[in-house]
Each structure stands twice: as C-alpha cells, then as structure tokens.
Amino acid sequence: MRKRVPFIVFPLAVLTLITLLSFSNDRRKFRLSQQLNIFNSIIRELDLFYVDTIAPEKIIKDGIDAMLEKLDPYTVYYSADEADELKMMITGKYAGIGSMIRFHGEKNTTVIAEPYDNMPAAKAGLLIGDALLSVNGQDVRGMSTDSVSNLLRGEPGTKLKLEIERPGRKKPLTVTLERATITLPPIPYYGILRDSIGYILFESFTENCSKDMRRAIVDLKGRGAKSFIIDLRGNGGGSLQESVNIVNLFVPKGKVIVTTKGKTKQAHEEYKTTREPIDTSSPLVILVDGQTASAAEILAGSLQDFDRAVIVGSRTYGKGLVQTTRSLPGNAYLKLTTSKYYIPSGRCVQALDYSHRSSDGTAQRIPDSLTNVFHTLAGREVRDGGGIRPDVEPKSEELTTLLFYIMQDMTMFDYATEYRLRYDTIAPAEIFELSDDDYKLFKDKLIASGFSYDMHSIRMLKQLKEMIKFEGYEEVAKDDIASLEGKLQHNLGHALEHFSDDVKMLLCDEIVKRYYGQKGGIVYGLRADKDIEECFGILADGERYSSILSPKSAALGE
C-alpha cells in the first residue's frame, strides 16, 4: 500500500488543481457577466429617466473610449463611421483631392498647404496658398480643418466644386475636380546624394511598401549607388510583415526576424525571411529619431542585431506592441494589442509599462537600470526596453523658441506665396539661396505684423522674481533684477539677425516647395541636415564603418 500512495496522491493533486482552476475561471466569468449587466442597466436607466435625452451611440462610444484609454493608446474602437480612418491607416489610401491643408487665422479659412504630385488637387491647378471659400456651395470660412477635410473626402470619381481665393487675383476662382483614391507614397523621395551614396526617405509601412523599397534599391544601384542611407526619422510604423520583407532585402533567407508572444496561441508566431536578398554587403546606415516606432523599429533593430547596418540618430520611440483588428457588430472594428514582439537578439523594445501607472495615470517608462543586456550576431551589447539605441548619436540641436513660434505663424507662409508671385523661376533646390534683400523684406514683414513670441528667459526671470520676493530678498536684488529685465526685453530685429541662418533655412524650404513641390522641399532640407552629414562621414570612412560593427563573439544562433 505504501508503494501505491504516490500514484494515488498524484492524480488527486492534479484533479484538485484542475478543479481550483475551473472554479477560478467560473468566478471570473461570473464577475464579468455581473459587470456587463450593471453596464446595461445603467444605459437603460439613463435612457428612461435622465432629465435630457441621451444619444446612445455617443454615450456608449465615450464609455468604450474611456475604458480602452486605461489599457494602452493603441487599443482603439472604430465605429462604422470611422472605418475609413482605420482603412487609411492600414493601406495608406483614402479618397479625396490629395493635398495637405492648413487653417489661416487672418483669412479665417483653410488654405492649400501642399498638393501632392499627380493627384487631383495638383492636376486641377490648385496652388499652395489658395484659400478655400466654399466646397460644393457650402461656405467653409471659419470651419476647422477637420470639418473641411471631411467635405473634401468622398467616393472616388465623384465631382467636387471649390470656390477659392488666389493670392494675386482680385476675383475668386471656381475649380472643378474629381475625387480619386489617394495613395500616400511610403517613399516620397530617393536619389543619389554624393560619393555614390543612395538616399531613401521612408515614411510609412503600408501595403506593399517592401516592393517600393526593392525598386528604389535596384534603381539606385543601377545609377551607381555603392552604399545606402535609409531615413526612418518620423516613421511611425505600420505593417509588421512589410517590415520583415524589407529586412529580407538585406539579410539571408531563413532568418527569424520577429517573434510575437501573447495570451492566445494565435498570438505566438515567428516571422522569417523567405526570399533571397538583393544586397547583403553594401554599407548601410539607418537614420532614426524619437518618432521612429513600431515596424520602423523592427527594421532598424533587426539590421542592428544582425550587424548589417549602422544605426545613426537619437533613441527611437520604443513601441514593442503588436495590434490586431477584430470585426464587431454594426460594421465597427476594434484594433487591440494582442502581443509583444521580439527582434533577433531576443529583446523587446517596449519603453512604457502600461500595466503600472503613476498616481496621475501616466504610464511609467522602464528605467535604463532595469533593462537587460542582449547581444548582436557579432557579440555587440544591445538592450531591451526604451527603443533602439543608435550606434552613433550625433549631438542634437534644439529648436529655438523663435523658430518654433515662426513655424506656427502664417507670416512665413504668406511671404513664400508672395515670393512666388514676384519671381517666375528660382535656382534648383540643390543650390537655391535667399538674397539679403529678400530676407530683409521678410524681416520687415514679420516685424510689421506684430509678431511676438514667449521668451523662456523672461518667463524664468518672472519665476525667479517671485521666489526672491517669497524669500525676502526683493530689496537686495532689486537693481540686479531691473538690469536683467532691461537686457532681456524683446528685440525681434536682433533675434532675426542672430538666428538668420536657421530662419532662412525655414523660409527657403517654404519657397522651394512653391516651385518644386514636396520633393524640392526634401532635397533642400537635406542640404543643412547634420544627421545626414554624420551618415556621409561614416559611409566615406570604411575603417570607421567596420569598427562600429566590429565582430566580437557570436551570440545569435544561425
């Protein structure tokens, strides 16, 4: 009997555990059902007895949004009316006129800010600076840009009549155009910059973007490119599979690029390279910043883990979560986080812990001290949490207060439009410069407009005065404070001269886009880009490039 006891106890223990788990699961289901009944009862009570009539759709959606907000910012409910927004996020497509718009405070209406090449707005002859007066007979003056955008969008092939006010013309114009499916290009520009270096600006991971990347690489190689810069700054991600496909262009077939792990069996998946690459040896630099996220981090992080590219820039956003779209009744959708992803070294780049929040509800960032060390294929140390840390971090320059406020103001926008009226042509974007006389005209215009900005130094001085008064040193420091106040008074003319190089850069960018469109603006912007200069230096110095990726001891399995 004693020998048989273990065989009896073991099945009893398993049976007890199963019973407890089943009981726990039943209790959880009961509590969930009870809470759903309470929610339904509240809605019924409000509908029957609340003093004002409620809008069921709105109040329930508000409740859903508030509930999901407590989880993470990527789990989002889309009603049937918002389904097109979700579709656009996934595909990069929408139906409309194909232009950026911006509200002009002085004109109290929306203006055309940037028509996309070969899209309805550009084909119909709309220009940057055109002010919208009406859309299909509906007056849009005073409307928000979101409201105007909704009017401009519609079914592909439908007609749209716009009444516009064009700078330089006395009478309004009427323009008729046809809405079309607008596909936002994932790669708005690529070209050869210098020393056989191919540059690719990659902005989003939409459907089939890997094919666009393949075409760009092949084309640049055909034009003599021997090394590459892929610019992922500001790229918020998108399709995980497309990211894997792009990594596959540079690393061999059969490599595990991403592993996802979640609650369900379906959430556990491996993504491997499935094709032969097109380039496994050309020097490659990936440019990133704090807005590089999600699928863009998979691309940058995987190439870092395989020591296939040098990562340059600032630390990336840190989004290591994967979302899945689920259909709901009434043609609604739920985009919800179902798993975390792990790149080849085994690390997850998720920076914020949404399950642990501060007293004000803010998600806590994982401190560097609690991150874990992983290794690239060659044995270089990399860490999880907090995004992708670049191999090279150029010193970043902060945007001055003056430049920030000038960018928000419409005076620069209007000046660039007036400049286009004065000059029929300008030099190519690669060499365009603003003359001293033209810059003086802009300065005079900005000063005459009454433009002002909030100087941080004056604000800090005000706080210092309050603290000095609180601590009883007001009389002692009175003369010093008065002297400092006199020196810190607004002098816009002085500021425009002191920061003239930076202001001219912003102004030239606006002007160039009036003549050469979005691509012209991109080309001009690359001229003064210090991160790009850093990339040039790395790619021009083979020894430095190799040393950054110097092999140590292999840590990733083949």
Tell me, yes or no, whether 211 and 354 share the same domain.
yes
Number of domains the chain contains: 3
Q: What domain range includes position 376? A: 189-327+337-393+541-548
**What is the distance between the alpha carbons of residues 242 and 259, in angstroms, rounded to a whole number?**
15
Asked whether residue 129 is domain-assigned, the answer is: yes
The band of 3, judged by pLDDT with boundaries at 50, 70 and 90, is very low
**What is the distance between the alpha carbons of residues 54 and 277, in angstroms, rounded to a whole number?**
58
CATH of residue 219's domain is 3.90.226.10
Given this model, what pLDDT does residue 555 score? 44
Per-residue pLDDT reduced to its tens digit, 495-542? 899 899 999 999 999 999 999 998 999 999 999 899 999 999 999 999
149, 166, 183 - which closes a domain: 183
Asked whether residue 54 is domain-assigned, the answer is: no
CATH of residue 169's domain is 2.30.42.10
Asked whether residue 28 is domain-assigned, the answer is: no
Given this model, what pLDDT does residue 189 score? 95
Note whether 205 and 243 are within 8 A (CB): yes
Asked whether residue 532 is domain-assigned, the answer is: yes
**What is the distance between the alpha carbons of residues 47 and 93, in angstroms, rounded to a whole number?**
39
3-state secondary structure of 307: coil
Given this model, what pLDDT does residue 489 score? 57
The band of 9, judged by pLDDT with boundaries at 50, 70 and 90, is very low
Supply the residues annotated as catalytic: 294, 305, 319
Given this model, what pLDDT does residue 554 score? 42
Note whether 287 and 312 are within 8 A (CB): yes
Residue 96: CB atoms within 10 Å:
21
Residue 16 predicted with pLDDT over 80: no
Tell me, yes or no, whether 476 and 352 share the same domain.
no
Mean pLDDT estimate for the chain: 88
Asked whether residue 502 is domain-assigned, the answer is: yes
* Helices 500-527 and 411-422, packing angle to 10 deg: 70
Asked whether residue 448 is domain-assigned, the answer is: yes
Given this model, what pLDDT does residue 1 score? 41
3-state secondary structure of 250: coil
Asked whether residue 195 is domain-assigned, the answer is: yes
**What is the distance between the alpha carbons of residues 160 and 177, in angstroms, rounded to a whole number?**
5
3-state secondary structure of 547: helix
Give the pTM. Answer: 0.83
Residue the block writes with tokens 């993470």: 72
Per-residue pLDDT reduced to its tens digit, 291-319? 999 999 999 999 999 999 999 999 999 99
Tell me, yes or no, whether 174 and 193 share the same domain.
no
Tell me, yes or no, whether 380 and 488 share the same domain.
no
Tell me, yes or no, whether 173 and 250 share the same domain.
no
Tell me, yes or no, whether 127 and 215 share the same domain.
no
Tell me, yes or no, whether 179 and 220 share the same domain.
no
Residue 5 predicted with pLDDT over 60: no
160, 183, 206 - which closes a domain: 183
Tell me, yes or no, whether 488 and 503 share the same domain.
yes
Per-residue pLDDT reduced to its tens digit, 336-383? 999 999 999 999 999 998 888 887 778 888 788 888 999 999 999 999
Asked whether residue 46 is domain-assigned, the answer is: no
Residue the block writes with tokens 């008064």: 469
The band of 411, judged by pLDDT with boundaries at 50, 70 and 90, is very high
Residue 25 predicted with pLDDT over 50: yes
Cross-strand partners of 104: 109
Residue 456 predicted with pLDDT over 50: yes
